[in-house]
Every structure is written in C-alpha cells, then in structure tokens.
Structure 1
Amino acid sequence: MEKLVIFGSTGAVGRLCVLHAVQDPRVEKVVAVVRSAPKPPAFFTAGAADPAAAAALLGAKLQQVRADFGDDASLRGACDGATAGLSCVGVYTAAVKDTADFLAREHAPNVAAARAAAAAGSVTRWGYLSGQGVAPPPPSRAAPGLLQPMFAFVKGSVERDVAAMGAFTRGVTFARPGMILGRGDALPGLVGASERFFNGAAGSWIARTRFAVQADDIARALVQSVLAGTGAAARGEGRGAEVLENEDIKRRAGELGQV
C-alpha cells in the first residue's frame, strides 16, 4: 500500500490530485501539505461523482499537514514514510514581479519539497506540474535566454534541479499541459477571458484537440504516474525524467483506475 504526499494540495489541480489519490485502492494514506489552516472535506470533494463517498474516504485516508517551505525540518516531517510524492505548487506569471520573484515563489518551494522527499529516504517516485514549452536550461544559466519566456525558464529550472537529484529510483514525471480547462479559477485579464470562453459551450471544441487538457486529467495522470512508477527509471531507462504533454496526459489519465 502506498503513502502519497502532495504539495500544492489546495490549488486547482492539487486538490483534484488529493481526491483521486484517496479514491485509489492502492493508497493507504494521503498527506496533503498545506501552508494555512486545514481545509474541510467539501473543499476536496467538489469534483467527485459521489461527494459523500469521497468524504468518507477523505476521513479515513487524508492527513493535512501544515508546513513551511522555509523550514526543511517541517517539510521532511510531512514526507516521513511516504512512498511517492508530487508537487502542484505554482504561481501565475501575471502575479510575479520579475524572474527573481518567480524563482522565489515557484522554483524554491518546488525544489525544497523534492529535496525533503528525497531526504525522507522512502519516496521512490515524484511528479511535478510543469508547463507547455518548458525545457530545462543549462546548470550555469541563472536567467532566461534571449527570447526565452520567463515561465519556461523558471519551470524548466525546477525540472532541471529535480531531475539532477537522481533520488527517485522509480521515476520522475513532469506534466507539461498547454491550456488547462476546468480549473474554475477566476483568472484576471486576457488569460481569464480566454479560459472562460474555452470552458464554455462555444469554445468546448478545443478540449478535443492536442492544445488543451482538463485539470482533472492532469491530476489523474500525475497520480497514476507516481503510483504506478511509470517514469523513465521504472521503464529501465535509468533515472531520467518522463515528460507528459497534452495527449500523453490524456492517455495516462485514462489508466487511472485500471488496477
């Protein structure tokens, strides 16, 4: 039986990861790492087909642990005894001031979480919610290259530094979705307007293309990846990372529940 630790558990994708993890028969316990007060069951059951049954599973399997990303000891404590973990910690580009701010709010907590999981010694699989167009930069690069988007550089730096740990012997999976549908977030500006359009009836066609993926599918794919050990190491390809883009995410999501 698995014990899964989830960082970024209160975000639009993270909370769905919690829901799918507690519903999986392979999982004995889910540790949802939170930065503020624990959330009520209804927070995690919003997308459940049977909210009452999901709430019962949450009561039996879920432990919410408050941790500080600046406190390595509290992060390691959250990972104690876990066999797999994933991080959906992220921040919207529009919410940051510059590259340094983006690195502090996305790179630093994600790398800290992965290091804590590696230090626990029992975590053999890891997943990270990255993004479309991301490529890990060279180790020497501390700022985006010419014409490289800040988003791609920062998330790529997370991928680079997590993969370089070489600590997760059954694989690392990076999910790189394009447009994320069904998040339900009230995003500002043009991004929010486009998401509202494509989440509606008029724009629903994009969900059937390779350019968009549902938040629920991302969560299902991440949970399946870390539970099944479907990363490169699990396939006998060493300790490299597996990358899932939109169509890969949809396929992996369909595997969840086929246990």
Structure 2
Amino acid sequence: MKIVVFGATGMVGQGALREALLDPAVDSVVTVGRSAMAVSDPKQRHVVHADFGDLSPIASQVADADACFYCMGLTSAGLTEAEYTPVTHDYALEAARVVGGTYVYVSGEGANAESSTMWARVKGRTENELLALDRRVFVVRPGFIQPLHGITSRTRIYRYLYRWSSWLFPVLRKAAPKFVTTTENLGRAMVALAKGATPAVKVLRSDEINRLA
C-alpha cells in the first residue's frame, strides 16, 4: 500500500506519518513539501514541490497512491479569508484532483459551511466539495488533540497551550469524549481508512476517530 501525506511536518501530519510508517500493510509513504525533510525510514520518500496550486508536475509520483492524507493547515489568527483559503481549500482540492486512492481530509471540530466564523466556514465548504466528489472521501474533525511520542506543533502558541493544558487531558477524555483524541489515534484511524475501513459516517469526530483507531 502506498500513502501520500501532505503536511507531514505539522503536528497532525507527524502523527499520520508515524502510524503509516509503523503499519506493516503500508509499503511506501510519499511526503510532499516545499522544502527538504529529514527522512530516516526506508519506507518514506520525500518530494519537494513549490506550487501546491498545481501538482501536475509531480502527478506521476502520486497518482497511483492507495490513499492521500491532507494534513496541511495553518492558524487563521490574523489572516483574511482570502489568505486562509488557499492552504485550507484550494490546495486540498488540487491534491484530490491529482492523488489517487482514498482521500482523508483533516478538518476541525466546528467546521460548518454556514458558520459566521471564517475558519469554520472555509473548512466546512472544503468538506462539502470533497465529499461531493465521485471517489472514496472521509473527513476527520478532531477537537482537542494530545500530541504523543515527542510530536509537537510548529505553531508557538499551540505548543504553549498544549504544554499548559496537558494535565487536563484525562479529565477531558472522560468528560467530553466527542472532543478529545491523540496524534496516535488520529494517525491510526487515518491508516485504517486507507486500508478500507468503512465507518457508518463520512465525517468522523474525535469519539469516532478513537473507536476506529
């Protein structure tokens, strides 16, 4: 099985990459990024590509994939909708156009195309357009994600928040299971979808992610 991962250096992408490399059913993982990435596993190959709005130049390297994990994202803080949309929406649709296999889009709890909140509206619109495609597509909507195995967020404020709130995780897991997962469970659930798991829903919240993991 061949899996393509976009956003493998982010917190969610690191988790997805880790679990894909650990799974014996996965033979090859292709990560795509704008800059070089340290590769330490023989199953991983990294492709450097600058323009995520046009993946045609690398299509021959990813079109035959069995699954695509779109984990690219950025904080909406301080951004306009026009600035936030390319990574969240445009590049996600371009990846779906070019990469083959099961497509898994990492969204977020609260995504809604009708929302008055900008990030939620853009992610919700992206979800709707992806799910309307004539292919096998799933959306994962994690809420609070506990990073494990040394994984960290690239965003400074998120790193601070995760360190500060880590002690709350056991409480949140019991009090609000629909909103809490880990990088390990999220990665495992995504790999399960790539391997053909068929959950009852196409949009998976944290509790469904954990069950699938």
TM-score, normalization: structure 2?
0.86
**Aligned residue for 2:88?**
106
Shift of 1:184: 2.3
**Aligned residue for 1:177?**
142
Q: Secondary structure at the match of 1:26?
A: coil
Matched, 1:63 2:23: no
Q: Which runs of 5+ in 1 are unaligned?
A: 42-57, 118-122, 138-144, 233-240, 254-259
Q: Which residue identity is paired with 1:33?
A: V
Q: Secondary structure at the match of 1:115?
A: helix
**Aligned residue for 2:124?**
156
* Contact residue 13 and residue 216 of structure 1 kept, 8 A: no
**Aligned residue for 2:22?**
23
1-structure distance, mates of 2:55, 2:197: 26
* Contact residue 6 and residue 70 of structure 2 kept, 8 A: yes
2-structure distance, mates of 1:186, 1:79: 26
Shift of 1:65: 1.1
**Aligned residue for 2:59?**
76
2-structure distance, mates of 1:207, 1:187: 23
Q: Secondary structure at the match of 1:36?
A: coil
**Aligned residue for 1:132?**
109
Cα distance change of structure 1 residues 193 and 36 upon mapping to structure 2, 3 Å threshold: closer
TM-score, normalization: structure 1?
0.72
**What are the residue-to-residue correspondences of 1:219-238 with 2, within 5 Å?**
219-230=187-198
Cα distance change of structure 1 residues 193 and 34 upon mapping to structure 2, 3 Å threshold: closer
- Give % identity: 30
Matched, 1:244 2:204: yes
* Contact residue 181 and residue 198 of structure 1 kept, 8 A: no
* Contact residue 173 and residue 226 of structure 1 kept, 8 A: no
1-structure distance, mates of 2:80, 2:209: 30
Q: Which runs of 5+ in 2 are unaligned?
A: none
**Which structure exhibits the higher relative contact order, with contacts defined as CA atoms closer than 8 Å and separated by 6 or more residues?**
2
Shift of 1:243: 0.9
RMSD (Å) for aligned C-alpha atoms: 2.2
* Contact residue 178 and residue 246 of structure 1 kept, 8 A: yes
